[in-house]
Copies of this chain bind each other. A is one copy, B any other.
């Protein structure tokens, strides 16, 4: 395994050098995948690598600070740009492939940033494990010229990336996966700034009250369905904490405040596409 991983890393370093040597912009969210990729790019390409974070209403507010801090630790040049997928009607009506539209807009933006820097390529952090799931956003990656997915194209799994992050001593190595706030809203229900802000606030409040780290507040038309890591469900086993969460989330306008007994898992929102 380790030998194999070292060989894979060697191939990856070569890939990064080849595709990035004329300058590369890395789509940098502050999550494990893009942070580890960014650290490697900085190591291999030096000043020819620039991290770009696209901030928008779908990006959890508290993550911006975190991303800035991680970029500083890595020592890479970091640019924050604003995007607004809420101005794209295709995204707002929230179809099953909404990620396609969002990523398309994102990469057009990042390619512009690259162009302004005199750079050629864009890297993004999709990993090999992601490809087995529902990833309409990846279609946008494949359609764009000069946009690469070093992890996915070199078959790196999430676990391998975490291992590399640990070896490099990155603070994000055990960070739970992030996801765009739009993933809290069932397909077909309209995405609005208000709903995204509400969900973001609800998650911050619950993290503060319970100490949970892996959390999604899904907004089913005003019914909050709270998913927490399976091992973190016990942080909710307290009637007083439950009452506090109810009070705070009702203040935000939720009509019902519920905890998903199953806990967090990826892809749970795909069930909203099924017939009842």
Q: Give A contacts to B, CB under 8 Å.
A: 220-223, 225-226, 230, 233-234, 236-239, 242-243, 245-246, 255-263, 268, 271-272, 274, 276
Q: Are B246 and A262 in contact (CB under 8 A)?
A: yes
Q: Are B256 and A268 in contact (CB under 8 A)?
A: yes
Cα(A222)–Cα(B243), bound, Å: 25
Cα(A255)–Cα(B259), bound, Å: 14
Q: Are A259 and B256 in contact (CB under 8 A)?
A: no
Q: Given the known inter-chain contacts A225-B223, A239-B234, please indicate yes or no for A246 contacting B261, CB distance below 8 A.
A: yes
Cα(A276)–Cα(B237), bound, Å: 29
Chain B residues with Cβ below 8 Å from A243 are: 261-262
Tally of this chain's copies: 2
Q: Are A262 and B271 in contact (CB under 8 A)?
A: no
Q: Are A257 and B260 in contact (CB under 8 A)?
A: yes
Cα(A230)–Cα(B237), bound, Å: 13
Q: Given the known inter-chain contacts A223-B223, A239-B233, A239-B234, please indicate yes or no for A258 contacting B260, CB distance below 8 A.
A: yes
Query: Which residue of B is nearest A241, CB measured?
Result: B261
Chain B residues with Cβ below 8 Å from A223 are: 220, 223, 225
Chain B residues with Cβ below 8 Å from A274 are: 255
Q: Are A221 and B261 in contact (CB under 8 A)?
A: no
Chain B residues with Cβ below 8 Å from A256 are: 225, 260, 262, 268, 271
Contact of A259 among B220, B222, B258, B276 (CB under 8 A): B258
Q: Given the known inter-chain contacts A256-B268, A274-B255, please indicate yes or no for A242 contacting B261, CB distance below 8 A.
A: yes
Query: Which residue of B is nearest A261, CB measured?
Result: B242
Cα(A236)–Cα(B259), bound, Å: 11
Cα(A122)–Cα(B151), bound, Å: 75
Chain B residues with Cβ below 8 Å from A257 are: 260-262
Q: Are B258 and A258 in contact (CB under 8 A)?
A: yes
Cα(A260)–Cα(B254), bound, Å: 12
